[in-house]
Structure 1
Amino acid sequence: MSDTLTPSGKAPRRRRGRKLRLLRALGLILGAIVAIPLVLVPVYGFVPPVSVPMLERHLTGRPVVRVWRDIEEVSDRLKAAVIMSEDGQFCRHHGVDLSALRTEIDNFLAGRDTRGASTLTMQVARNLFLTNSRSAVRKALEVPLALYIDLVLSKKRIMEIYLNIAEWGPEGQFGVVAGAEAAFGVVPDALSWERASLLAVTLPNPLVRRPGRPGPGLRRVASVIEARTRQFGTRAGCVAPGRALAL
């Protein structure tokens, strides 16, 4: 009897063993995914990071143009215009705009169009650790990452990273130095109101929008952001602690 039972008993054990090995492998993968941001975010407090889109272009043989620039060497007008254009509550929230996020969730559940509700910190999280694919999973991952980034890094450093990893042109221009040079042939420490606003409104779609050759529509949007920044730009003071923004 034992001769007939033993083989049949081994098969379930082998299947259980395979399942356990698979679960362990998945656990290790998930652990690595969680550990990478936990380790790298504190390091990025003083080391210039490289974004996922930069790596994707490099691995596929496409050019990447990025020159790191200290935030103090970037025009205050541009910093304020980016905040007014992309995330007006940047200095007030803790990485996630909960009010905007609740509205997005309500719209999603009701089947209405969603606008994204991505804060600058969430965009930094996506660029550093995720992909640009539009999905509910990616958005869900952005939230805890953004909260962690805001907890570990200062607003000034988050903005500095954003300005240096944001895609600012269709030919691999990353960061404000490459963006300002490609659009206007200038360095980003001395930008007029018009140029600062045009660069800021390019960010939602840098592969299509051309700040150096703006059409009427882009000029109108830039004018709105310029007016908003002139009026409310001092709300961006968290990126220049200890001094007033030179607007």
Structure 2
Amino acid sequence: MTDSDDLRRRLAAAVPMDDPAWRAALESVPRELFVGDGLFRFDGRHWTPLHRDRTDPAEWLRLVHQDTTWVTQVDGIAAADATGPVTGRPTSSSTLPSLIVRMLDLARIGDGDKVLEIGTGTGYSTAILCARLGDGNVYSIEYDPHLAAAAADRLHAAGHQPTLLTGDGLAGHRDGAEYDHIVATCAVRHIPPGLAPPGTRRRHRHRRRRRVAAGFRTRPSHRPRRRNGHRAFPHRPDQLHARPPP
């Protein structure tokens, strides 16, 4: 067993979840591939880049397999491209694995479900969805074209071929409709009440920066704030095409 395999197994074993299939999915995805060639560390004032090619390989693997969020882009500057400390706000990251898996588990996403993910980011959560549901059931939209291209390369290198789109999450993806769940990994102030009216199946979890993943069986109808120039959810109920409750 390689070091990466062992680290993934230990990471997955430490994450509490109801559905063991998510543990198997977590074990199968090489996180080092999706973190890329650099990450940022925050000292309270600055984001300092750490580069893969300047770090001991074993130490790099240990770092990326920690159950923590690694910021990979700050105000559009990729950690791999940064030559020194920067200031600003994180604009992309590899979210801590336990949060991703627990959110998907709590959303009760399971076999045969078709998912639309808004915010591909590094592609890590997309790969976990693919490993659990199969590539044909995963659709993912990313607003930033550079992030979208990098995520596509990483997903393909990992052997996954989900449907990937570049554009505004507001538009959804009509050609793939309908969806059993809509998962949003972008930052929002709150989950708008209009996304899940009373009586709708809904599971969600909030963490730092209010990164949200949620499973809905209703048609969203509320307009949230913009992130990176786009809205996470549509204001028209026909644009994401989530399946109504059975």
**TM-score above 0.5, yes or no:** no
Greater share of helix residues, 1 or 2? 1
Higher strand share: 2
Higher relative contact order (CA 8 A, sep 6+): 1
| Structure 1 length-normalised TM | 0.31
Structure 2-normalised TM-score?
0.31
**Which structure has the larger Rg over C-alpha atoms?**
1
